[in-house]
């Protein structure tokens, strides 16, 4: 297995110094830039939209991992492809025709991701897992950074790993929400391939060293 990926969530960045924070990620041991898009409808918060993502894209040198917490994501698939998304993740709960949405994402040349809210069972992916490049298990209720990790995530990770093995797919498992150095290693041991970390990285005194620390504990 390749080394687990670290994806700092720019939601916790200092937006007054966005270029500086994006460049910090560029120069760190992080693998992806995680970009949270919230519409105030699917989740009770609004984050940022196209102009801000364009500014991030201008400075980012690592793949962009875009997490859409929006209703009717199909309307924006092309727009996010044009913004340079490497992975485009939609929420299971926001898609009436998930299979069609996944094909549309892939036809634009992006990896197709599906995020599951904490209440959404992994078993619901039984019939689509073959078409999914990445499953994002939400380990907090989406909408805000800085929340506490939900412990039931480990059981979901186990179920997802079993499903992926049963179907023989190469789907990556991403964990998003409340990731810190207290749970990172255990998550990787349970099968996580990508760890998203917002507050733990950006609220640290030394974000670069914090990313290096997460990389080292998950790689041992």
Distance in Å, CB of 144 to ligand DX5, minimum: 6
Are the beta carbons of 100 and 78 closer than 8 angstroms? no
Give residues 132-191 in contact with Zn ion (rule: CB under 5 A).
Answer: 176
Closer CB to ligand DX5, 93 or 168, in the complex:
93
**Strand ranges in the chain using DSSP code E only, listed in sequence order:** 5-8, 33-38, 64-69, 85-91, 111-116, 134-138, 172-176, 194-197
HSE toward the beta carbon, residue 54, CA cutoff 13 A: 5
| Nearest-CB residue for ligand DX5 | 198
Residue 97 exposed, middle or buried by CB count within 10 Å (0-12, 13-18, 19+):
exposed
Q: Extract the annotated binding site for a divalent metal cation.
A: 34, 36, 67, 176
Sign of the torsion formed by the C-alpha atoms of 147, 152, 157 and 159: negative
Closest by CA position to 137, among listed 47, 33, 151, 63: 151
State in angstroms the smallest separation of the CB of 133 from ligand DX5: 18
Nearer to ligand DX5, 169 or 180 (CB): 180
By CB under 5 A, is residue 213 in contact with Zn ion?
A: no
Rounded least distance, CB 168 to Zn ion, Å: 28
CB atoms within 10 A of CB 58: 10
Q: Which residues of the chain form contacts with ligand DX5 (CB under 6 A)?
A: 9, 11-12, 34, 36, 67, 140, 142-143, 145-147, 176-179, 196-200
- Phi–psi pair at 69, nearest 5 degrees: -105, 65
As measured in angstroms, the least distance from the Cβ of 203 to ligand DX5 is 8
Which residues are annotated as catalytic?
A: 36, 176
Taking the alpha carbons at both ends of the chain, their separation in whole angstroms is 13
Stretch that binds Zn ion, among 64-72, 104-112, 164-172, 200-208 (CB under 5 A): 64-72
Binding residues for substrate: 9, 67, 143-146, 176-178, 198-199
The site map against Zn ion for 8-47 (x = CB under 5 A) is: ----------------------------x-----------
For Zn ion, give the closer residue by CB, 31 or 36. Answer: 36
Site of interaction with Zn ion (CB under 5 A): 36, 67, 176
């Amino acid at each position: 297995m390749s080394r687990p990926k670290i994806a700092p969530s720019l939601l916790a960045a200092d937006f007054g110094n966005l270029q500086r924070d994006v460049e910090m990620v560029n120069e760190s041991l992080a693998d992806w830039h995680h970009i949270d898009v919230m519409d105030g409808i699917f989740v009770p918060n609004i984050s940022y939209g196209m102009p801000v993502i364009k500014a991030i894209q201008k400075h980012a040198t690592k793949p962009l991992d875009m997490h859409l917490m929006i209703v009717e994501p199909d309307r924006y698939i092309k727009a996010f492809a044009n913004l340079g998304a490497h992975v485009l993740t939609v929420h299971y709960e926001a898609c009436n025709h998930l299979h069609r949405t996944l094909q549309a994402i892939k036809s634009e040349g992006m990896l197709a991701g599906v995020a599951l809210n904490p209440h959404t069972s992994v078993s619901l992916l039984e019939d689509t897992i073959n078409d999914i490049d990445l499953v994002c298990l939400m380990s907090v209720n989406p909408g805000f950074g800085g929340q506490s990790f939900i412990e039931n995530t480990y059981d979901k990770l186990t179920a997802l790993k079993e499903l992926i093995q049963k179907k023989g797919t190469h789907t990556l498992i991403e964990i998003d929400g409340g990731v810190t150095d207290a749970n990172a290693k255990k998550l990787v041991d349970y099968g996580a391939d990508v760890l998203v970390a917002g507050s733990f990285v950006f609220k640290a005194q030394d974000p670069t060293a914090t990313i290096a620390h997460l990389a080292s504990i998950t790689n041992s």
